[in-house]
A and B are shown apart, each in its own frame.
Chain A
Amino acid sequence: MANSESRSRSRKKSEGGGGGSGIIIFLFVVLPASIFAAPTALLFIVGLIPTVVAAIIDRDPEKSAPLTVGPMNICGILPFTMEMWRHNHTLPTALHMLSDPLTWLVMYGAAAVGWIFYYMIPPMVTGFEVVRWQGRVETLRGKKIALIEEWGPEVTLDDEALIQQQQQAAAAMAQGARR
């Protein structure tokens, strides 16, 4: 219950702040970059399309898909960007790179690796967690047995059952005493 509440709260937060941060990013990062580093911006705008798609299709308020795909997608863009920075940082160079299918393959292939991460890692985490939980259950079972051995089965009773059991035991003892 508490978990779902916090989740919805974070969802609202991300929804509420999503528009604002986008505008800020656009005004202070994308717009200046488009003006002062148009070739790089062009490469990134085209190259980051998988990440943008991931952000659009991901219903998770935490936006884990773009967060997973994005870093790998950037890794796929970076070599071309760096190549451009090193030799000729111009729009024709950028367009030339974009005309090469290898560039597209590398950029979108890296994004695909991000998607692989996105789909493969959560089941692995689940499997790991299940094994951990089962271990914990066994430990608790051992503790429970030790408690019962030390304090008797009455340690498992709730208040009402304990009182009832004590009354029955007292009655049985009194009967035995009378005999």
Chain B
Amino acid sequence: MQDLVNVVTLGSIYLLFALGMSITWGTIDILNFGHGSIFMFSTFSAYLVLAETSLPLLPVVLIGVLVGAAMSLLIQVVAFEQILKRAKDKRTAEMQILIGGIGVAIIPLAIAQHQTKSNPFGLSESSYQVGTWVIGDIRITSIAALTVVVAVLLWAATAIWLKRSRHGLALRAIGVDAETAALMGIDRRRLALVTMAASGGMAGLSGVLFTYSLGAITPESGDTLLVKAFACIILGGVGSMLGVAFGAYFLAAAETVVLTQTSGSWVEAVSFGLIFLVLLLRPAGVFGRKEVRRT
């Protein structure tokens, strides 16, 4: 039972993180390799603020979300928009964005590594104390409960927004055919900025919540999570909201099984192995529809 609680908590962290990557990749075709850096650096910003003054939970979360959104917007404007403007076709643009994201991600990482000397940092200066509830023989921390609730609500809200609202429709239209969407009067640039900001905010949110529940993270934590989030998205199918949730909880479950059955150091291989298996057996993912060919 305790394992199940852990799976749900871990899966919710993965979901929050992967959701941000999934909405940009599934709609505006941006696989943002800076996402891990945003995750880490917004937490790091909160940590810096907390070194000055002690704050309760809500302002800390807010700092994380705002810094994440701001960083994501900045990357979109200075890097990805410039790449898209210059690239001659979609395929080169995709690869350039991947490489550009890796390049941009080095900068916040370098700053954080310099400031912390690559040591772990946490949010323990916050006035919010993580509580623990014990029901029978199950332990649930308050932050774990909060993470699960936030992740599920945010995921549902995003899914409904994409499915039901006019903006969501416009965004999905871009994902299917950007040119036709533009002809229908959709402002691609503005929607892309909104999407990137939302994605960055989710990265910041997941960073703060993850750090609260784990105690501390290292500047390099973002990189590992990036590959795991990729596994979640691939597993469920790119662009599928149901898929990313399935992927996140499935990965968490698989990792927990491996963690409890083996000595522990094979856990990292689970996500990499999953990526491999899915790409080989079912490249479109479990819930993915066949990709629309546009050539």
Query: Are the chains A and B members of one assembly?
Result: no
Binding site for A on B (CB under 8 A): none
Binding site for B on A (CB under 8 A): none
